[in-house]
Amino acid sequence: MSSSFQLAIVMVAYIVFLVSWGIYQGRKVKSHTDYAIAGRKLPGWVAALSERATGESSWALLGLPGAAYAMGIAEIWTAIGCVVGIITAWWFLAWRLRDEADRYSANTFSDYLAARHGEVASLIRLVSSSTIVFFFFLYVGAQFLGGGKTFHTMFGIDAQWGMLITALIIIPYTIYGGFQSVVYTDVIQALLMIFTLTVGPIVGLIYLANHPEVYSQSVVQALTIASPNHLSIFNGLKGATAGMFMVGGFSWFFGYLGGMPQLTLRFMAISDRKQAKLARNVGITWTVIAYLGAMLLGIIGLAIFGPESLPDREYVMPATLMKIFPPVVASLLITGAIAAMISTADSLLVLSATELSENIVKPLRKNLSPSSLLWQSRAITAIIAIIALVIAYLSPQKVIFTLVSYVWAGIGCTFSVVILLTLFWRRFHGRAALVTMIFGLIFTITWISTGRDAVVTAKLVNFLATFLVAVAATFLIHKSEQQ
């Protein structure tokens, strides 16, 4: 039995289990609040694992190992920026956002901002929800594209058929169970991810020690002989260029500070403060172990294959697993990685649908019954999924991925400023928040589209510029007496 056939069997079995589990969890959904935010009753460990799977699936399993394989220890700055950002979010923001969501009975990210800044609630709903729906709607399309490429790479399936398979995997349970189903399928993925990133490096180091025919039997030696830059923490750069390289990697930190709605929503859904503490501990522990494992797995791949053997650096994780594990075990771990990557779309899909349903459609259709609101959410989820799939088929890939590139800087860093000042500065008010959102999005689009992102990363520049605008707007624009 060939390894690709074993991989296909394991993948089909895993996906059937995942979809069945998602539909089973969807049976618990009784209202639109359950659908949008799991009734704000998530156990801490569930919220933490879901948040980590949503935030790190393809990055931790494919992107970071690939970067470590290609660049060596210089990739540590990106890892440090992400880890410090995640720890900061879980330690300082998660329980506060949980309390705020409970206080204002907020069902979505925009719902909370609108309730918190009641002076311009309708405008904040419109601007925030429209922005999130537009960009994350295209993000869903990008995930469909990524799923299609993955099926093509692993099984030789035409990429367009792969996109359809990807959609058919996630759409049924997402439409049926919404956030509830998505969160609990994330848990399965997070557990398999952490198993891969823990056991994989351990077995990999043992494999190196017992196979003298590999490129190098030591990860340090592998880094040394791969290139002069692989053991350089600044990738061989010096002076100001080295500083910009470090800042560029660390700048991922800013997007984790409450500004990514699909992650913040997990904080808001935690049931109580005790569970928020549990979630913090689980989330931080998972993150530290996963990032160390991902970096090490990429360097172990370098030691096994050498720097020039793989056609694509992001193949290093599946290639390494197939080398060090028996085919069936490797197939299970690779399947988990693929499923985690392609099903990231479910979180983005349910986020876009609930933002549109709760903050744009619902205010226009007043006096709907609870059951009508629930079916409205499901219908909107289905419509968005279908349109996103059609756009993924028809639109040039370059256009979709260019717009997606604005998400982390334009949405993540902009909304991080709004969330931080909302939580920690009483003087910050609704009109200033509205100005901040609009400025941050326009600034990011301008900065990236004019090519300046290649000089200084938009994530850093936008966060700093938006923060200054937010402070200035707070002082210069009068706060309404109605707020």
Listed in sequence order, the DSSP H helices in 211-255 are 219-226, 239-250
Q: What is the pTM of this model?
A: 0.92
Closest by CA position to 111, among listed 89, 136, 129 = 129
| Mean pLDDT, residues 61-87 taken together | 92
What CATH number is attached to the domain comprising 52?
1.20.1730.10
Say which residue the tokens 């982390």 belong to: 408
pLDDT at 167 over 80: yes
Band of the pLDDT at 5, cuts 50, 70, 90?
Answer: confident
| Mean pLDDT, residues 369-391 taken together | 89
Quick check: is 135 in a domain?
A: yes
Share of the chain above pLDDT 90, in %: 55
Polymer length in residues for the chain: 483
pLDDT at residue 8, as a whole number: 81
Q: Which region among 10-14, 42-46, 180-184 has the lowest average model confidence (pLDDT)?
A: 10-14
Contact criterion met (CB below 8 Å) for 280 and 48? yes
pLDDT at residue 401, as a whole number: 62
Quick check: is 274 in a domain?
A: yes
Quick check: is 439 in a domain?
A: no
| Domain membership of residue 290 as a residue range | 3-397
User: Cβ neighbours of residue 378 under 8 Å, at least 6 residues apart?
Assistant: 35, 175, 176, 178
Quick check: is 478 in a domain?
A: no
Quick check: is 79 in a domain?
A: yes
Quick check: is 180 in a domain?
A: yes
Quick check: is 414 in a domain?
A: no
- What are 266-305's pLDDT values in tens digits? 999 999 999 999 999 999 999 999 999 999 999 999 999 9
Contact criterion met (CB below 8 Å) for 223 and 230? yes
Q: Who wins on pLDDT, 151 or 323? A: 323
- What are 29-38's pLDDT values in tens digits? 999 899 999 9
Quick check: is 57 in a domain?
A: yes
**Number of independent structural domains in the chain:** 1
